Amino acid sequence: MKFFLITAGLMVLAGVQAATNTPASVRGVRTALTGIGQEDAVSRRDPSDVIKVGDRYYVWYSKGKIKSGYNATVWYATSPDGLNWTEQGEAIAKGPAGSWDEASVFTPNILVAEGKYWLFYTAISKKPKVKPDSKIGIAVSDSPDGPWEKLATNPALKNSDNPEDFDSHLVDDSCLMVRDGKYWFYYKGRQLGKSPADTQMGLAIAEKPEGPYIKHPENPVIPGNHAVLAWPQGKGVAAMIGDTGPANITNTVQYAEDGVHFSKTHDVVDGPRAGGSYRPEAFTDSGQGEPILWGVEIAHKKGELPYIHRYDLEWTE
């Protein structure tokens, strides 16, 4: 059976699971892509959510020559069908020497608002790896094809100055949606002295797409997750958690009607790896978002550079 939409007056899926003794689940299925798939000496990773403009799908991603995203720029591709892609070129370049984004710009994501396109991206200022200066900036354009102008107010979100905060080491991996006329910005953070396994998910909210983005007082809103994969669902927000975090939340779907207090609804089998998704209701504030059905993710073979794959999701209740 297909997953059913959560509507007003939240149907508590956990209760349904308990009544049937059969856990709801979602399973990922992979498909190779043309145009942004495997290529010698090229690394493509960290894909954004997918949007559709006219009759074309758009996706942005990190592109470089090393396995990690720490020496990359942001590129984009378009597709008529979500399977066959054409790489269109670079969207965001590194900043000048001495700037906050001089070493790498990577892990992009997109917001469509006020008739413009807002491309969020992570950046670092020092090589060779992320230090406590990982921040998130925004570039804006009148077209999904650019040109993109970095905001003078960048960075839009930075790691906390308080070493006790969950995001005092870094912030990364934007995921945007519109709720209640405001701009909700989910991201991941890590505390100073903690390992990647201790990464957690935070939330910041703004009145305008360019910010300022104010971190939520109840951060972190999810105590885990390596990559932020979230979408509006019914009146609330759903998030898919990978294998990073406490055992009770890893490989699950979490749901929060208020977008803040999440609880489990589904088990996840072979879920997306650092994926973005196609979320047609993400920026509409319609309260009618449905479970995601497909998107793109990182794929790689041992000893080879990463590339972009498609995943499709099979939901059961």
Phi, psi of 14 (to 5 degrees): -60, -35
Q: Is residue 4 part of a domain?
A: no
Q: Name the least confident of 14-28, 71-85, 99-113.
A: 14-28
Question: How confident is the prediction for the chain on average, in pLDDT?
Answer: 91
pLDDT of residue 120: 98
Q: Please give the tally of structural domains in the chain.
A: 1
The 10 Å CB-count burial string (b at 16+, else e) for 50-68 is: bbeeeeebbbbbbbbeeeb
Domain range for 284: 13-316
pLDDT class for 283, splitting at 50, 70, 90?
very high
Comparing CA positions, the residue from 67, 22, 18 lying closest to residue 42 is 67
CATH number at residue 134: 2.115.10.20
Query: Rounded CA gap, 191 and 214, in Å?
Result: 18
User: The whole model's pTM is what?
Assistant: 0.92
Q: Name the least confident of 120-129, 155-164, 283-292.
A: 120-129
Q: Is residue 2 part of a domain?
A: no
Q: Is residue 8 part of a domain?
A: no
Q: Is residue 7 part of a domain?
A: no
Q: Is residue 51 part of a domain?
A: yes
pLDDT tens-digit readout, 167-217: 999 999 999 999 999 999 999 999 999 999 999 999 999 999 999 999 999
Query: Rounded CA gap, 293 and 280, in Å?
Result: 11
CA angle 271, 312, 177 (to 5 degrees): 80
Q: Is residue 76 part of a domain?
A: yes
* 119 has pLDDT over 90: yes
Phi, psi of 196 (to 5 degrees): -55, -25
Q: What percent of the chain has pLDDT over 90?
A: 87
Strand-by-strand arrangement of the 307-316 sheet: 229-233, 236-241, 252-256, 263-269, 25-31, 307-316, 294-299, 276-277
pLDDT of residue 22: 55
Q: Could you tell me which residues come within 8 angstroms of residue 252 by beta carbon, excluding any fewer than 6 positions away?
A: 240, 241, 264, 265, 266, 267, 268
Q: Is residue 121 part of a domain?
A: yes
Q: Is residue 149 part of a domain?
A: yes
pLDDT of residue 263: 97
